[in-house]
């Protein structure tokens, strides 16, 4: 899952980004509202975390522009502006949740999970393709009922392939969804991670379509 963080306080920006990455999320971060809006317009994000008091454009202006250009990415506001008027204004502007600073990080993660479970394939938490099983909440992977230990990046890569079962994903799309915005397309990082993932799965699960991309084939069962 890929998140865009727009927070102008440097220490909090770093704290949130590192905390999310440790929990398996791919995070792009900026401290400027205008730059955040630019990233939102070109990146493929599952969620935006948005402060209100920002340089460039403030959070309300970012939300207004997103609505104007029909950018339908879910937005959670994180702000020290905790009075009821600000909360109502933020939710009416299009945010799906409003988290007041300071916040408990465990609750923060739970709010993110709650938002991303709503809608489309994210409303499901367990997936099965053949002998491969994934649980997105517990982050457990089983192959023929045996547990497979994956790094956060490997899990995100496998999640992307499973949720797009039977669809060939190009290297560019994988980079956009699993790596950060400044990913070097000339590197072989994706190939290395796919090789490691294939070795851990010990099965012919991930296929390559030469010159096109990578895919997992089979019937996807969702729970």
Query: Over the chain, what is the mean pLDDT?
Result: 88
Given 3-state DSSP classes, what are the helix, strand and coil percentages for the chain, each rounded to the nearest 5?
Answer: 40, 20, 35
Confidence (pLDDT) at 202: 84
Are both 102 and 148 inside the same structural domain?
A: no
Confidence (pLDDT) at 82: 85
Tell how many helices (H) and how many strands (E) occur in the chain. 8, 12
Confidence (pLDDT) at 122: 47
Are both 55 and 97 inside the same structural domain?
A: yes
Give the domain-ending residue among 67, 89, 117.
Answer: 117
Residue 147 CB contacts under 8 Å (≥ 6 apart), including other chains: 140, 141
Can you spell out the DSSP letters for 95-106?
Answer: -SEEEESS--HH
- Which CATH number fits the domain that encloses residue 12? 3.40.50.2300
Are both 86 and 188 inside the same structural domain?
A: no
Residue 212 CB contacts under 8 Å (≥ 6 apart), including other chains: 168, 170
Are both 59 and 130 inside the same structural domain?
A: no
DSSP 8-state code for residue 177: H
Are both 96 and 138 inside the same structural domain?
A: no
Confidence (pLDDT) at 181: 62
Confidence (pLDDT) at 182: 64
Can you spell out the DSSP letters for 7-18?
Answer: ---HHHHHHHHH
Question: pTM value?
Answer: 0.65
* Cα gap 79→51, rounded to integer Å: 5
Check: CB of residue 159 under 8 Å from CB of residue 150. no
Are both 141 and 58 inside the same structural domain?
A: no
Are both 40 and 109 inside the same structural domain?
A: yes
Q: Structural domain of residue 148, as residue ranges?
A: 124-222
Are both 78 and 134 inside the same structural domain?
A: no
Could you read off the pLDDT of 121-157 as tens digits, one per residue? Answer: 445 678 999 999 999 878 899 999 999 999 988 998 9
Check: CB of residue 38 under 8 Å from CB of residue 21. no
Q: How many domains does the chain have?
A: 2
Confidence (pLDDT) at 121: 46
Check: CB of residue 215 under 8 Å from CB of residue 117. no
Could you read off the pLDDT of 53-87 as tens digits, one per residue? Answer: 999 999 999 999 998 888 889 999 999 998 999 99
Confidence (pLDDT) at 183: 66
Are both 159 and 212 inside the same structural domain?
A: yes
pLDDT of residue 207 exceeding 50: yes
Could you read off the pLDDT of 38-58 as tens digits, one per residue? Answer: 999 887 788 999 999 999 999
């Amino acid at each position: 899952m890929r998140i865009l963080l727009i927070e102008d306080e440097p220490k909090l920006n770093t704290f949130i980004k590192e905390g999310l990455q440790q929990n398996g999320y791919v995070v792009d971060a900026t401290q400027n509202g205008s730059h955040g809006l630019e990233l939102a317009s070109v990146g493929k994000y599952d969620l935006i975390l948005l402060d209100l008091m920002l340089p460039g454009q403030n959070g309300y202006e970012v939300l207004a522009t997103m609505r104007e250009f029909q950018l339908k990415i879910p937005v959670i506001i994180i702000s020290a502006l905790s009075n009821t008027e600000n909360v109502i204004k933020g939710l009416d502007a299009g945010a799906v949740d409003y988290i007041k600073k300071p916040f408990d990080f465990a609750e923060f993660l739970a709010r993110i999970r709650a938002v991303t479970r709503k809608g489309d394939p994210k409303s499901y938490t367990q997936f099965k393709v053949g002998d491969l099983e994934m649980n997105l909440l517990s982050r457990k992977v089983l192959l023929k009922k045996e547990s497979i230990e994956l790094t956060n990046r490997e899990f995100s890569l496998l999640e992307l392939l499973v949720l797009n079962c039977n669809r060939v994903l190009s290297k560019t799309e994988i980079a956009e969804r699993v790596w950060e915005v400044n990913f070097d397309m000339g590197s072989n990082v994706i190939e290395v991670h796919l090789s490691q993932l294939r070795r851990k799965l010990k099965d012919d699960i991930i296929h390559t379509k030469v010159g096109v991309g990578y895919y997992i084939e089979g019937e996807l069962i969702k729970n």
